[in-house]
Structures are given as structure tokens and as C-alpha cells.
Amino acid sequence: MKQSKSVDYQAIIDEVYAEVKSLDLQGKVADYIPELAKVSSEKYGICLVDNQGNTFTAGDAEEPFSIQSISKVFTLTMVFHAFKSKLWHRVNVEPSGNPFNSIAQLEYENGIPRNPFMNAGALVITDALISKFENAKEKIATFISDIAGCTNIQINGEVLMSEMDHASRNRAVAYFLKAHQNIENENIENLIQTYIYHCSMEMNCVDLARSFSFFADQGYSRYCDRQILTPSQTKRLNALMLTCGFYDESGEFAFRVGLPGKSGVGGGIAAVLPGKFSIAVWSPELNTKGNSLRGIKTLELITDKISFSLF
């Protein structure tokens, strides 16, 4: 791997920002819950944080948005130490090849979700969190605020209420897991609420890039000055994000971009180049797989312009 001593990240980001803006990318803002559909499709922000702690931004990088499924990375991190001992019986680590909310595969595979980023897998993780912490919601909020640099991350109450009203499918998945003895806690409504709670978090690109920085730095977060995961755990979670982080487009993303990362239907994407930097992009228009159109294009162009890569 060639090493570039000094890369001008700001110049690259500015260039890519302008180039992507000029493209006429036509997607669709998520509308499965009314609140998400209200966001302006024009929004577009980027933030890159390098391992030296420098922050580079472009566009709407400081405007909060709904992180949605990106939150699954945080909850997984919080129980990841249990993966070797307990969780791997309950959740697999294989790419799915099916939409994130599919229930058919879960039936064929006896209630063991394919990976922790499918809705089913994330519900199992949230269930493990509820078992572990008395006040799981509070713990999640604190953890995310911490790794984002002690900012005060908040949930969007409108999104939360809207999602609770449109959660039949997640309830179906949760009861299906319960039927397969893969949910420990009796109170399914509390599980759904906790799950939606963390999906309803709002962060901006700067928060998000900082909160992902420990994935680029062998588990160490400079923003809360703490080792979040061991290097070995970090490596594994990065591998998981690379193979499973983008729904059923994960292969395509690895092929075109080649960075571990996670997307959300709010239009956010967080990704890392281990040893180098973490990055967050936000733009609400999604492609048919549910990933931000501009977000993916942004990361593809950036990885083309820098002289080093994962592979």
C-alpha cells in the first residue's frame, strides 16, 4: 500500500462536493414514515475526520438528520464483547442478499438473523442491551454522545412517534424471533420502543464522523479518550460493516468504494478507512436499495481521488 504523507482532504472533499452536486442524481426520499418524507431532498453534507483529529467539512455538515440504521453499529458495539461467548448463537455474520426487513429468510434459517444489521439482527442486539442494562435507552444515548465528542445527541420525538405508529413489520419480526426463543425479554413493546428510540437519534455529519473515528484507529476514540473496542474486535466489526453494512447492496459498495461503513434510510452514511480517517455523508435521496445516492457517489469519488485504499 502506497503511503501519502500529506493528503489535502479539504481540497478533495470540496472537489467531490461540487462534482456530485453537478450530477443530476434522482432518487427518492424515504417515505415509509411521514416524518422522514418531510426532509428537503436538496440537503447534502460531508465531514471527514482524520486520525490526527483534523475535521474537514462541506455543505450541510452541521445539520442534524435521523441516523436510523447507522445506530445499529453503536448498539452492536455496546454488546460486542459478548459476541464470541453468547451472541454468535443468536445472530450470524453473513451478508443477507435480501432486503433489510425480510422475514422469509428468518423463517428458512430458524429464527437466526443473517447479521446484526438486518432489522431482525438489530432487534436481537437491542434485546441483549435491554438484558444488560437497567435503563438501556439512557445508556445508548450516553454512549453515542460520548463517542461523538461529548455533544448532547438527541432523539427526534416526531420521528419516534411516527415510527411507533408504523412499526407493524418490526413487531412481526420481533414476535417471530420470540417464537424462535431468540428474544429474552418478555415485553415486546419495550423492545420495539427501545429499537425505534435509537433509530430516531439525530446527529450531524461532524458528530457522526467523530463517533466512527475509533473504527479507523484500532478501537481508540480520541473524542472521549477511551479504548472502545480492542484492535481485534475493531477489525472484526470493520469486516462486518464491509460485508453487511449496505443492505443488499453491500457487495456493490465494497466493489465500487471498498470501505467498511453503514447506511441509514435517513440518507446518512458513515464509513472508515482503517488507519486513516472516518467520514460521514448525508443526502436524503435514496436509490432502490435504500442507500443515499449522493452519499455513495461521494464515497466512490473520494476513494478514487486518494492514493491509498483498503485493498
**Which amino acid belongs to residue 168?**
S
244 belongs to the binding site for its own copies (CB under 8 A): yes
133 belongs to the binding site for its own copies (CB under 8 A): no
Report which secondary-structure segment, H or E, holds 45. Answer: strand 45-50
Residue 69 is among the residues annotated as catalytic for this protein? yes
Which cell is 146 given?
460520548
Q: Which stretch binds its own copies (CB under 8 A): 136-144, 167-175, 263-271, 277-285?
A: 167-175
Q: Which stretch binds its own copies (CB under 8 A): 37-45, 67-75, 195-203, 256-264?
A: 256-264
d(CA 309, CA 295): 18
Binders in 44-83 for its own copies, by CB under 8 A: none
Hunting for cell 443477507 — which residue is that? Answer: 96
- Considering only 112, 254, 293, 302, the residue that binds its own copies (CB under 8 A) is 254
d(CA 306, CA 308): 6
Q: Smallest distance from the beta carbon of 48 to its own copies, in angstroms? A: 18
Which cell is 4 given?
501519502
DSSP conformational letter for 98: S
91 belongs to the binding site for its own copies (CB under 8 A): no
Residue 17 is among the residues annotated as catalytic for this protein? no
DSSP conformational letter for 135: T
Residue 39 is among the residues annotated as catalytic for this protein? no
Residue 195 is among the residues annotated as catalytic for this protein? yes
- Considering only 69, 238, 283, 298, the residue that binds its own copies (CB under 8 A) is 238
- Considering only 72, 178, 210, 294, the residue that binds its own copies (CB under 8 A) is 178
- Considering only 28, 222, 236, 305, the residue that binds its own copies (CB under 8 A) is 236
**Which amino acid belongs to residue 222?**
R
- Considering only 92, 151, 185, 230, the residue that binds its own copies (CB under 8 A) is 92
Q: Smallest distance from the beta carbon of 29 to its own copies, in angstroms? A: 21
Which cell is 196 given?
425505534
d(CA 221, CA 84): 23
Helix/strand/coil percentages in the chain, nearest 5? 50, 15, 40
Catalytic residue among 265, 276, 281, 292: 265
d(CA 171, CA 163): 11
Q: Which stretch binds its own copies (CB under 8 A): 8-16, 124-132, 240-248, 293-301?
A: 240-248
243 belongs to the binding site for its own copies (CB under 8 A): yes
Catalytic residue among 9, 16, 247, 257: 247
Catalytic residue among 16, 29, 39, 69: 69
What distances in angstroms separate CA 128 from CA 107, 119, 174, 239, one per listed residue? 21, 14, 13, 22
Size of the site for its own copies (CB under 8 A): 54
Q: Could you tell me whether strands 268-273 and 277-282 are parallel, antiparallel, or unpaired per DSSP bridges?
A: antiparallel
Residues 6+ apart with CB under 8 A from 69: 100, 117, 122, 199, 262, 263, 264, 265
Residues in contact with its own copies by CB under 8 A are 1-2, 92-98, 102-105, 107-108, 114-115, 168-169, 171-176, 178-179, 218, 232, 234-236, 238-240, 242-244, 248-252, 254-256, 258, 260, 274-275, 304, 309-311
What residues are labeled active site?
69, 72, 195, 247, 265
